[in-house]
């Protein structure tokens, strides 16, 4: 009986060692990075208001103040107060850190996302985003965002969802998103933000944009400016076509 017990113990030890060796042979995953390198800011994950901005890296306090002012003027939010308070609660010393806002758009709100802890090294960081798409998807478009405080020494942050890798430059920002004025000038009624066409609605001038997803962005362009008082007077005057002929060329094109 004792021999049988010893034999059973040896078999179990051999099996356990063999199993461990298989685990050791698998590729090792990088350890999670220190919060001194990158730290998550727990903003609401899903929010309709995220459709108002694009992925961006905010590098100065002035840029953050302008961003907050722009968001504060928007109305198409569910949890705007929660978002802003959480964002500002994490005091960022822009001498050493940047603020990364990563926007995600899914064509269906039924897609479940999971975000892993950042891995990599002090220069190049990777964040894996898992996606679980059900066989039956809803037709509602969903907007998500992630916020991170990132050390300025970091070169790139790569977001990998298994379908594509989106590399965000942290040191030198060349994204076309940075060319969009924040906020858009009040006199601009309609504009192309580099991806979507936007315009103002209601008396409060609330901005509304199409929701096309773009991998890259073109230059911002205002496509319709608010007419000045002189032009509005001419438009309301039935005889403006006759008077327009006598206007100097410079006056006719002053707003172009």
At 65, the pLDDT band (50, 70, 90 cuts) reads very high
Burial of 159-188, coded b for 16+ CB within 10 Å and e otherwise, reads beeeeeeeebebeeeebbbbebebbbeeeb
Note the pLDDT tens digit of each residue in 110-144: 878 889 999 998 889 999 999 887 888 777 788 89
Distance of CA 125 to CAs 20, 28, 96, 159, Å? 29, 16, 17, 9
Q: What are residue 113's phi and psi, to 5 degrees?
A: -110, 145
At 246, the pLDDT band (50, 70, 90 cuts) reads very low
- 56's enclosing H/E stretch is strand 56-58
Structure tokens at 54: 């694009």
- Percent of the chain whose predicted confidence (pLDDT) is above 70: 69
d(CA 228, CA 219): 25
Note the pLDDT tens digit of each residue in 169-198: 997 544 444 445 556 787 888 888 888 888
At 229, the pLDDT band (50, 70, 90 cuts) reads very low
**pTM (predicted TM-score):** 0.56
d(CA 176, CA 132): 30
């Amino acid at each position: 009986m004792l021999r049988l017990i010893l034999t059973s113990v040896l078999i179990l030890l051999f099996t356990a060692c063999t199993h461990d060796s298989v685990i050791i042979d698998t590729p090792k995953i990088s350890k999670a990075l220190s919060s001194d390198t990158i730290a998550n800011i727990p903003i609401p994950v899903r929010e309709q208001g995220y459709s108002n901005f694009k992925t961006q890296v905010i590098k100065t306090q002035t840029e953050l103040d302008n961003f907050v002012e722009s968001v504060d003027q928007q109305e198409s939010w569910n949890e705007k107060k929660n978002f802003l308070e959480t964002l500002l609660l994490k005091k960022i010393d822009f001498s050493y850190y940047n603020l990364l806002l990563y926007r995600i758009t899914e064509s269906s709100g039924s897609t479940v996302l999971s975000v892993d802890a950042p891995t990599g090294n002090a220069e190049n960081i990777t964040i894996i985003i898992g996606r679980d798409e059900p066989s039956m998807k809803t037709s509602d478009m969903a907007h998500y965002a992630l916020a991170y405080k990132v050390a300025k020494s970091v070169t790139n942050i790569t977001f990998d969802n298994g379908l594509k890798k989106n590399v965000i430059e942290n040191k030198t920002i060349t994204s076309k998103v940075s060319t969009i004025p924040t906020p858009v000038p009040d006199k601009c009624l309609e504009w192309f933000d580099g991806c979507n066409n936007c315009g103002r609605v209601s008396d409060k001038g609330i901005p509304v944009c199409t929701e096309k997803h773009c991998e890259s962005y073109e230059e911002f362009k205002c496509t319709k400016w608010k007419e000045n008082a002189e032009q509005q007077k001419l438009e309301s005057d039935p005889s403006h076509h006759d008077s327009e002929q006598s206007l100097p060329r410079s006056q006719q094109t002053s707003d172009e």
